[in-house]
Structure 1
């Protein structure tokens, strides 16, 4: 009989999922998506293959579930931080800062190699996860424009530009970190036309 992780089936499922996600990220980082099998993931996660298949159909299913989990947690953290702001422009500032800080602790980009092998349906689902993050910025841009804090602009054009300015940006730690953060923040806000 398989061992139950935790005190209930719900805890078992959550712990199994946590282990599988951690194993998946570790293995894909080391060996690439194509170099990892379901058996590898089960062994690394410390769960039986049958148990793994009871939770996930295949690697693509693991990737999609992982992306959904990461995106949900990321957006919740982002929204929590932005909820403290008194104005839309302040929410934009927080968005930039949190995007840079939170991007350090979330594994969004498993790389183009992973996305190149996804089925068209999985690709659409991954894009929907990305869109959830973009929607936070779209809404905030509309609010800032309605409040007269930035000029009216098309969020469909502006959102990819803002993310391009932020993507892959690694901020220094220690002395100079706050100045670097303010510089990136100022650049984005000036590009949006904020005073």
Structure 2
């Protein structure tokens, strides 16, 4: 088979998969998390149920795939912030601020709350640990605790952004978290 044909098939499959994820997200927003069926999804995408089942075995698998796609985008956004330059302290502040704002903006997402499975959490932890490790090595934050412990602390502290009344409150929460990471004179 010519390479172009394979790329076209792969592109088509990717487009159908994305359409399934997007339609499921829209249906969950409209009808609620527990009300969405495979039939509704197939109809919204414009494919048969048999075709839908070739991509996903059930609604939960679609929701997990959607969450993984969203998390991948979140991590790409955070990675771009670290590659934008600046010293380790600035990168840490930027990453924590972006993470907290994303938490704030998606606080009402039942999907995000339910789908934050262990694999997703581990990728997030690993990313934050790397940023914290670089900041500690640069002397910007405390180095008396393991990056794993600090990452867990930061992610739990910034989870409070979901309940924050405003973006200004989120910014204060990030500052408080950063203050707690700094070394004491």
TM-score (norm 1): 0.74
Deviations 1:47-84 (CA, angstroms, capped at 9, x unpaired): 22122112112222212222222222211111011112
Distance 1:80 1:164 in 2: 23
Are residues 111 and 71 of structure 1, via their aligned partners in 2, closer, same or farther at CA, if it must alter by over 3 Å?
closer
How many residue pairs get aligned? The number is 174
After the TM superposition, which segments of 4 or more aligned residues of structure 1 sit over 4 Å from their partners?
Answer: 105-109, 179-182
What's the counterpart of residue 119 of structure 2?
128
- The answer on whether the counterparts of 1:144 and 1:150 sit within 8 Å (CA) in structure 2 is yes
Higher-helix-fraction structure: 2
Decide which of 153, 157, 179 is 1:190's aligned counterpart.
179
Are residues 139 and 158 of structure 1, via their aligned partners in 2, closer, same or farther at CA, if it must alter by over 3 Å?
same
- 2:35 is paired with a residue whose SS is coil
The gaps in structure 1 that reach 5 residues or longer are 1-6, 116-122
Decide which of 141, 148, 169 is 1:156's aligned counterpart.
148
Are residues 102 and 111 of structure 1, via their aligned partners in 2, closer, same or farther at CA, if it must alter by over 3 Å?
closer
Are residues 17 and 108 of structure 1, via their aligned partners in 2, closer, same or farther at CA, if it must alter by over 3 Å?
farther
Aligned-residue Cα RMSD (Å) equals 2.9
What's the counterpart of residue 22 of structure 1?
22
TM-score (norm 2): 0.78
Distance 1:143 1:102 in 2: 23
C-alpha displacement of 1:107: 9.2
C-alpha displacement of 1:26: 2.2
